[in-house]
Amino acid sequence: MLDDKIFTFNSYMKQKFGARVARIALHTGFNCPWNRCVFCRRDSFSPDITADMSRQGWRETLAKSMDFLKKRYKNEFFAAYFQSGTATFGDEAALGGFFRQAGEIPGVVAEIFSTRPDYLTQKEIGMILRSVPESIDEIWIELGLQSTNDKSLKLMNRGHDAASYFRAVENVEKYGRSKIKIAPHIILGIPGETIDDMLKTVRESTQSEVVRGIKIHHLQIHRGTELEKIYAEAPFKLLSVDEYIEIISKIISLTPQEIVFFRLFTTTPAEYLVAPVWQLNTQEALAKLENYLEKNNIHQSSAL
């Protein structure tokens, strides 16, 4: 089993709550203040099951997806997952209300906020701590980084540098009252990066004690993005599934045992995806990874 080789989000939550914790997608309705990363097409990250809390009817949307998870997978515990856009950007009072209400939904035991480094200052951290109910002790930030290489961040037009990620981490160390954990979001296969660059990003971004997780996937080109135009004009090399598995396996072997893997792969519906087309769904990709790990006798921290 993959969970025997990698400390996944599922295994972490199972250890803590004795059962699987399913992520339920929520949205603040404020989107993103930057909106210019070349790879980003925000609607590809907002599936129909996302409950937009700024709109009427969000509770019904949420109830539907929770009922489905309860019936199909017997889930009893949930993580409120604010994945779309920049979850800590927007009107403070409104955000505070959303974060509090999300934590009050029966069965919710965790809240996860996906955001940018420049929206994780003392102000946003204070707002999160004031708003998330005391009963929730799993507060995670999926912190957009992609790479610690400034050249890559420029190429992806992230609008921040690596130093800004480290400042955000420091803010959580200072103001997070040991209640907030970070999982950097990293993209593998940014043009021009070597395997060593990717390993360096993982190593550097996970040094702080508040960094307790990691979310990784490969660079994909989605329809309607700036990257699609760049790729059409001058195609560049993208990772094949075998290359990706080799790199992610190396990362797994060099990652300390206590770091939680939030994600190892991404898949995108065919209508959104330009390249690379791997012809694999998530389960097939995970099975392929598991085989590779088994064959090469690799597990998390095995090369440390």
Measured CA to CA, the distance from residue 87 to residue 286 in angstroms comes to 28
Measured CA to CA, the distance from residue 21 to residue 9 in angstroms comes to 9
Q: How far is the CB of 29 from ligand SF4 (least distance, A)?
A: 13
47 binds ligand SF4 (CB under 6 A): no
Handedness of CA 293, 297, 302, 303 (dihedral sign): negative
Q: How far is the CB of 37 from ligand SF4 (least distance, A)?
A: 3
123 or 130: CB nearest ligand SF4: 123
Q: Which of 7, 30, 34, 140 binds ligand SF4 (CB under 6 A)?
A: 34
32 or 80: CB nearest ligand SF4: 32
120 or 180: CB nearest ligand SF4: 120
Stretch that binds ligand SF4, among 5-13, 32-40, 197-205, 224-232 (CB under 6 A): 32-40
Measured CA to CA, the distance from residue 49 to residue 24 in angstroms comes to 8
Q: Which of 6, 32, 112, 211 binds ligand SF4 (CB under 6 A)?
A: 32
DSSP alpha helix (H) spans, 40-161: 58-73, 92-104, 122-131, 150-155
Q: How far is the CB of 135 from ligand SF4 (least distance, A)?
A: 29
42 binds ligand SF4 (CB under 6 A): yes
Q: Which of residues 142-161 bind ligand SF4 (CB under 6 A)?
A: 144
Measured CA to CA, the distance from residue 301 to residue 1 in angstroms comes to 17
Stretch that binds ligand SF4, among 36-44, 50-58, 235-243, 281-289 (CB under 6 A): 36-44
The angle, 0 to 180 degrees and rounded to 10, between the axes of the packed helices 241-254 and 282-295 is 60
14 binds ligand SF4 (CB under 6 A): no
40 binds ligand SF4 (CB under 6 A): yes
**Do β-strands 273-275 and 221-222 pair in parallel, antiparallel, or remain unpaired?**
antiparallel
165 binds ligand SF4 (CB under 6 A): no
144 or 184: CB nearest ligand SF4: 144
Asked if residues 187 and 147 have their Cβ atoms less than 8 Å apart, the reply is: yes
Q: Which residue has the tokens 């390993």?
A: 199
Encoding tokens for residue 274? 């330009």
Largest CA distance in the chain: 52
Q: How far apart are the first and last CA of the chain?
A: 21
81 binds ligand SF4 (CB under 6 A): no
Give the interface with ligand SF4 as residue ranges (CB under 6 A). Answer: 32, 34-37, 40, 42, 85-86, 116, 144
